[in-house]
Amino acid sequence: MEKIEVVPSLLSANFANLAEDIKKVESIGCSRLHIDVMDGHFVPNITIGPVVIKSIRKITRSHLQTHLMIDQPGKYIKDFIDAGSDTIIIHQEACPEIGETIKEIKKLGVKAGVSIKPKTPVETLKDIIQDLDLIMIMSVEPGFGGQSYILGSEKKISESKALLEEKGLNLPIGVDGGINAQNAPLVAKAGATHLIAGNAVFKGDILENIKSLYRSINQL
């Protein structure tokens, strides 16, 4: 099996002491952090903006992947890149001019990812996939941490893998939402290479949680 990375989703971390939680996940080898940005329009919840990412950037060298769950992401990508994001993930459903926005992200010197919601078919990625650095399959309806994994999402992961193979591409496939040590083997087997996890990392003993995620996929 390919090397798989656990990517902590900071939404479930302690926002009053983010630096400590970040140090903990890094102490056990995580070097990519997932940051959820929500606008109250594209999703019903509101989280953080560039100002928080700017502060996070100052205390870590980890790769920061910013998941924009916002309408009209094109309007804001520069702000999130200036704040220190290394990858910008936009939503296919939020972005009518997605090809242009992907180009714009890359022109600004960072990596571009596209995420799709549970009801959006993988084939909607087929014309843009060659321009991407990452694909991300949502395994919950975006908007909140701590939801249950939607069973069957692994099918979309295999479909993404097949599409990449068909195009001769080799990109990371992330899966985001409800990932834990029970379903990690399932999504890993389907082809996910980035397991994004919030609650399963930050609820309880962070170090033990990460170990148990890696153990579940036999990568510890």
Residues forming the site for ligand DX5 (CB under 6 A): 9, 11-12, 34, 36, 67, 140, 142-147, 176-179, 196-200
| Cβ closest to ligand DX5, residue 15 vs residue 127 | 15
Structure tokens at 170: 């080799």
Report, in Å, the least distance between residue 46 CB and ligand DX5.
12
Q: In the chain, helix, strand, coil percent, each to 5? A: 40, 20, 40
Site string for Zn ion, 6-45 (x = CB under 5 A): ------------------------------x---------
CA distance 184 to 134: 19
| Cβ closest to ligand DX5, residue 84 vs residue 143 | 143
Q: Which does 171 bind (CB under 5 to 8 A by kind): Zn ion, ligand DX5, none?
A: none
| Cβ closest to ligand DX5, residue 84 vs residue 177 | 177
| Cβ closest to ligand DX5, residue 99 vs residue 204 | 204
Rounded alpha-carbon distances, angstroms, from residue 106 to 51, 154, 168, 213: 22, 28, 21, 32
Which neighbouring-strand residues pair with 68? Answer: 37
What are the catalytic residues?
Answer: 36, 176
Q: Give pairs for 165-170: CB < 8 Å, separation 24+.
A: 167/129, 167/130, 169/129, 169/130
Structure tokens at 16: 């009053």
With CB under 5 A as the contact rule, which of the stretches 23-31, 47-55, 96-104, 173-181 interacts with Zn ion? 173-181
CA distance 28 to 178: 21
Q: Which does 146 bind (CB under 5 to 8 A by kind): ligand DX5, Zn ion, none?
A: ligand DX5
Report, in Å, the least distance between residue 88 CB and Zn ion.
12
Q: Side chain identity at 75, as an amino acid letter?
A: K
* Nearest residue to Zn ion, by Cβ distance, number only: 67
Q: Which strands make up the sheet holding 87-91, listed edge to edge?
A: 5-8, 194-197, 173-176, 134-138, 111-116, 87-91, 63-69, 32-38
Report, in Å, the least distance between residue 166 CB and Zn ion.
27
In the complex, the residues that contact Zn ion under the rule CB under 5 A are 36, 67, 176
